[in-house]
Structure 1
Amino acid sequence: MQVLNWIDWSVLCVTLLVIVVYGTYQTRGSKNVQDYLKGGNTSKWWTIGLSVMATQASAITFLSTPGQAFNDGMGFVQFYFGLPIAMVVICIVFIPLYHRLKVYTAYEFLENRFDLKTRTLAAILFLIQRGLAAGITIFAPAIILSVVLGWDLLTLNIIIGFLVIIYTVSGGTRAVNVTQKHQMVVIFIGMLIAFFLIVDKLPQDITFKKALEIAGASGKMEVLDFSFNLNNRYTFWSGIIGGTFLMLSYFGTDQSQVQRYLSGKSVKEMQLGLIFNGLLKVPMQFFILLVGVMVFVFYQFNEAPINFNPTATEVVLNSEYAEDYKALQEEQHDIFNDKQKIIEAYINSETPEASKYITIANEANDEIRSEARALIDKASEKQNLKIESNDKDYVFIHFILNNLPRGLIGLLLAVILSAAMSSTASELNALGSTTTIDLYIRNTGEKTEDEKVKASRWFTFVWGILAIGVACVANLAENLIQLVNIIGSIFYGNVLGIFLLAFFFKFVKGNAVFIGALITQVIVIGLYLLDLYEMINLPFLWLNFVGCIIVIGIACLLQLINPNDKTITTNN
């Protein structure tokens, strides 16, 4: 593992410093809640679009997604197929309504339509799931620096968390939006350079086309899965149905996204920003996954470690299982040598039948890696340590640190840390504003502009501390990007159903919705736990659809059973 030299540190520090200083400079003049929470409604469509993308594209995207493709191939892109559909619906239904009501948060609308308790419940559900997700976005860059610096994750979680808190509390929505625009430019440039360098580092006789053929022979290029098999987590149907419901809820009701486009100069600017995101997001995710697939091809010709987490390897090699681990390393070395001959034969023969031998070799290699993880877990348990044996999140950072030239390593680290800063800043900004507007001010009475801004800053600080706490236990996850989406799926379907009831089911009143939402949340959590313990088979993406349908069904049924419920509403 390379150690960063002065060139990498310079590129990394200068890039991040320029972004932070520029963002802080943009925060001057935020003296009232309109400026602080909605950026003075001055954002143009391209700023909104890039800010929305940057909020979703956290460090997790650039750490976990390539690792996801390295292990499982391109199929994960199906997760995003519902996004363009969701963008159109939000532009037609959500944005005009939010703009007309001049709301600071999405949940203000629910009190106008239903009642205070329904607004409060939706806000609390958002705070729970987004608070958990914010902790994970802090943990993701901690992985990077733990590998680079050799520091323990707990210390890094605390350091990174406090740096993000300082940046977020000192700024506001305008600073977050404008800063994210420049962060996305850095991200795009860095990932493009990384992609071309990966392809360039393949053997001279391996063209990009041949690289894709090798990836295809290894089962990594299977983009579309039209089966209805629930054993497959990512299929066309789960993406179109479950993904659409997830994206509708995320972009339409999650304050971390709603706050991004509520800062728009007009309805048209907001709509154009989301359409821009809808058109660009799927190709961007496809490209990031393709980067991961190219890393996989690279390691078909360059021997990879048996586990990409160097800390895990160090722990097991200093344990009683060291000899067993070394034996697995030797076995993997033999498989690698055999695979070189198989791939050469496949390329020269160009016959589809030869691909099955590549598959067999890779399956044997996967089995070895699985046995290595088991040894790491045993060694960690013996030494009473918390070491992550699942190394998906370490694949891309391992490649960066060991194979890219000086300077570019610093740039790629800046890309990942920029994404972490932008995403976490958005989340903490939204958590602070939702707590201030929907809970504190609504339940304690009207405040002065200065009191509102101060309250928002303090609540942002508190949520930052809580997020650090979540980050300290996040390494229990199998894969960070899956963990974020699982957390969202548990809550999003229910929240989306509440909003759809508000939009389209005018006969349903507040009491029915409130009770239905409480029951639904218990049911969805129960379904997830049943799936987790393999008592049923329901991939998490479907929880968005199921949760939405259940809350609508229960609320409508309760209203029909009790038609005399006269909860006061304001039709909008």
Structure 2
Amino acid sequence: MNFLSASPVSSGIMLSMLDWIAIGVFLFLVVCAAMWARFQQKGRADFFLAGRSMSWVVVTFSTFATLFSTISFVAIPGEAYDHGLMLSLTLIVGAMFYPLGVWLFLRFFFNTQTYTAYEYLERRFNLPTRLGGAMTYCIIRLLYGGTVFYAAAKVFESLAGWPMIATVLVIGVFTIIYTATGGMKAVMITDTIQGVIVVIGIGAILYTLLQITNFDIQGIYTYASENGRGYEGVVQPEFYRMNLFDRFSLWLLLIASITTPLATLSADQSVLQRLLASKSYKHARRAVIVNAFTAVPVVGMLWLIGIGLSFLYTSGKTSLPSNIESDHVLGFFISSHLPAPFPGLITAALLAALMSTIDSTVNCIANVIHCDFLVRLRVVGNNSNHEMLVCRLLSILIGLVCVGLAVLMTLANEGIQSNILEITGIWSSLWLVLLAVFLIGVLAPRVTGKHIFIGMVLGGMVSLYLPYTLYYATPADERISFMWVGVPGMLITITLPLLLSLLWPDVKSTEGLTLWSIKNKSNTSKISDPVLVN
């Protein structure tokens, strides 16, 4: 017996007046948060780090919103619908490595006046390494921000029928205004609102889906497993072999699960800036741990939605129009089966996820440019009378660049929308280079600035070159797994400086800057909050 009667053919979200009211209330709250935060600012510490006054609850929601994007909302159910649950293992296993990232990296950034992660690289190595790391971050985040903006505009075009360029311009300008007005405090407060809306939206979709399928979770998973979309792959011999052409394997699971949390807590200023805005190291540590383990059930709901939609539409329980692609199945389900104001709430959740990605990109790149380049190179004075004006102008400029990249991608329209998970995975390979630099910094005291800078440059060049040669210039059926693309650059960045330190020895004090010098401190009660050597 069919669970549902015939459904409408449209794949878009049909918004009623009640839906638009829900969206309007969300945008109004964002504006109020920005205006309130505007009057709390007295300097760049308030603008970029919210005066280091945020509680772990706000930091937790803000961090989740930063790591979650509109693409996550659509691409994860699409991945589960097409390929099943195997990639979700990285979410589950990766949560276990966040405490390691806290222990290795986070404590180096606290109890100091550090504004960016890359200040540590100068103290540990030299100025060129700091500038190289900061520049690499800006490149990664601008590319990611532009790609997410473009892909999100595609999502809104397919789900709600909004014109792409108009979506980019309107949402972009709105986000730039509230970010430049309210700074990090406004960003984190709105991130909290956005995070709550995202969770409610996911919950509403999942509850409706389970209600339609009579809450038959066991039946959903059994169907997925019978069709090769469950976790049965872990007992297959192929899962344990070293084959670069396998889409997913034990080795890729370990690489992704270990490197993602470590890179997030060492090199990703977008996350670290929120953690540095905490009241203390204790608050930041709690936010990391709570976020890591609560993200598992929240994002896990999206994976369940994906296989639930597959069960609903491919098992013969109900029909799906032939013109609906996997990326549009979620929109079709929302428009067909969720009553008002839930479609509006889902649209607001998608807007929230997009705005969180963009406001994070804008504020954090502005902070890096201001602190690591303009102030450090004495282009502008530290704590000058025009400091706040410079910070706001930087935020506006970065926002316009991000919007411009999205518009260019929209006009070019050369297949970027296909397989967004793979695209973002490929270009995230530069994160592995930055992670390698920070790992060498805390674990290898014999490596100095001249060694690591050479490794970082060569590793970065390889990571920029390989996505083209191994992926875009290779036929689809001849490509290696996208998850291997960043590994060579990381290995070069790690091994080359270690070899150079043996062949070309140098000496520099690393007291308080490596894991070993912290361990050797006599006052072990202060291990959690070391003060970096200037």
TM-score (normalised: structure 1): 0.80
* Native 8 Å contact 1:108 1:119 kept in 2: yes
> For the structure 1 residues 553 and 290, does the alpha-carbon distance in structure 2 shift closer, same or farther, using more than 3 Å as the test?
same
Map Cα deviations across residues 152-194 of structure 1 (whole Å, 9 max, x no partner).
Answer: 3123222222122112111211222222222222221221121
Aligned partner of residue 253 in structure 1, secondary structure: coil
Aligned to 2:221: 212
* Native 8 Å contact 2:74 2:327 kept in 1: yes
Aligned to 1:227: 240
Q: CA deviation at 1:61?
A: 1.0
| Equivalent of 1:33 in 33, 44, 61 | 44
Distance in 2, Cα, partners of 1:131 & 1:21: 27
Residue type at the aligned position of 2:130: R
Distance in 1, Cα, partners of 2:448 & 2:216: 62
* Native 8 Å contact 2:273 2:364 kept in 1: yes
| Equivalent of 1:503 in 432, 437, 442 | 442
Aligned to 1:539: 481
Kindly report which structure 2 residues correspond to 1:26-65, keeping only aligned pairs within 5 A, or say none.
Answer: 26-65=37-76
Aligned to 1:304: 320
* Native 8 Å contact 1:493 1:543 kept in 2: no
Q: CA deviation at 1:86?
A: 3.4
Residue type at the aligned position of 1:526: Y
> For the structure 1 residues 144 and 12, does the alpha-carbon distance in structure 2 shift closer, same or farther, using more than 3 Å as the test?
farther
* Native 8 Å contact 2:134 2:368 kept in 1: yes
Aligned to 2:327: 393
| Equivalent of 2:421 in 481, 486, 495 | 481
Aligned to 2:5: none
Q: CA deviation at 1:298?
A: 1.9
Aligned to 2:272: 258
Distance in 2, Cα, partners of 1:492 & 1:296: 33
Kindly report which structure 2 residues correspond to 1:171-570, keeping only aligned pairs within 5 A, or say none.
Answer: 171-202=182-213, 207-222=216-231, 225=234, 226-228=239-241, 229-300=243-314, 301-308=317-324, 391-443=325-377, 444-472=379-407, 473=409, 476-477=415-416, 478-489=418-429, 491-532=430-471, 533-534=473-474, 538-563=480-505, 565=506
RMSD between aligned alpha carbons?
2.4
| Greater CA drift, 546-555 or 145-154 | 145-154
Distance in 2, Cα, partners of 1:233 & 1:303: 30
Residue type at the aligned position of 2:466: L
Distance in 1, Cα, partners of 2:422 & 2:438: 25
Distance in 2, Cα, partners of 1:27 & 1:18: 14
| Greater CA drift, 154-163 or 497-506 | 154-163
Kindly report which structure 2 residues correspond to 1:61-100, keeping only aligned pairs within 5 A, or say none.
Answer: 61-100=72-111
Distance in 2, Cα, partners of 1:268 & 1:497: 26
Distance in 2, Cα, partners of 1:546 & 1:283: 33
Q: CA deviation at 1:104?
A: 0.1
Aligned residues with identical type, % of pairs:
27
Residue type at the aligned position of 1:471: A
Map Cα deviations across residues 390-432 of structure 1 (whole Å, 9 max, x no partner).
Answer: x543332232123221211111111111111122211211111
Q: CA deviation at 1:544?
A: 4.7
Q: CA deviation at 1:542?
A: 3.4
Q: CA deviation at 1:566?
A: 5.8
Residue type at the aligned position of 2:496: I
Structure number with larger C-alpha Rg: 1
Distance in 2, Cα, partners of 1:397 & 1:28: 40
> For the structure 1 residues 164 and 510, does the alpha-carbon distance in structure 2 shift closer, same or farther, using more than 3 Å as the test?
same
Distance in 1, Cα, partners of 2:350 & 2:331: 10
Aligned partner of residue 67 in structure 1, secondary structure: helix
Aligned partner of residue 232 in structure 1, secondary structure: coil
**Quick check: 1:118 aligned with 2:137?**
no
> For the structure 1 residues 467 and 210, does the alpha-carbon distance in structure 2 shift closer, same or farther, using more than 3 Å as the test?
same
Aligned to 2:17: 6
Distance in 1, Cα, partners of 2:348 & 2:385: 35
* Native 8 Å contact 2:69 2:353 kept in 1: yes
Of Structure 1 and Structure 2, the greater helix share is in 1
> For the structure 1 residues 159 and 108, does the alpha-carbon distance in structure 2 shift closer, same or farther, using more than 3 Å as the test?
same
Aligned to 2:517: none
Distance in 2, Cα, partners of 1:237 & 1:217: 25
- Unpaired segments ≥5 residues, structure 1: 309-390
Q: CA deviation at 1:271?
A: 0.6
Map Cα deviations across residues 336-392 of structure 1 (whole Å, 9 max, x no partner).
Answer: xxxxxxxxxxxxxxxxxxxxxxxxxxxxxxxxxxxxxxxxxxxxxxxxxxxxxxx54
Residue type at the aligned position of 1:556: L
> For the structure 1 residues 148 and 549, does the alpha-carbon distance in structure 2 shift closer, same or farther, using more than 3 Å as the test?
closer
Aligned to 2:166: 155
Aligned partner of residue 171 in structure 1, secondary structure: helix
The count of aligned residue pairs is 486
Aligned partner of residue 81 in structure 2, secondary structure: helix
Q: CA deviation at 1:548?
A: 2.8
Q: CA deviation at 1:537?
A: 5.7
Distance in 2, Cα, partners of 1:513 & 1:392: 44
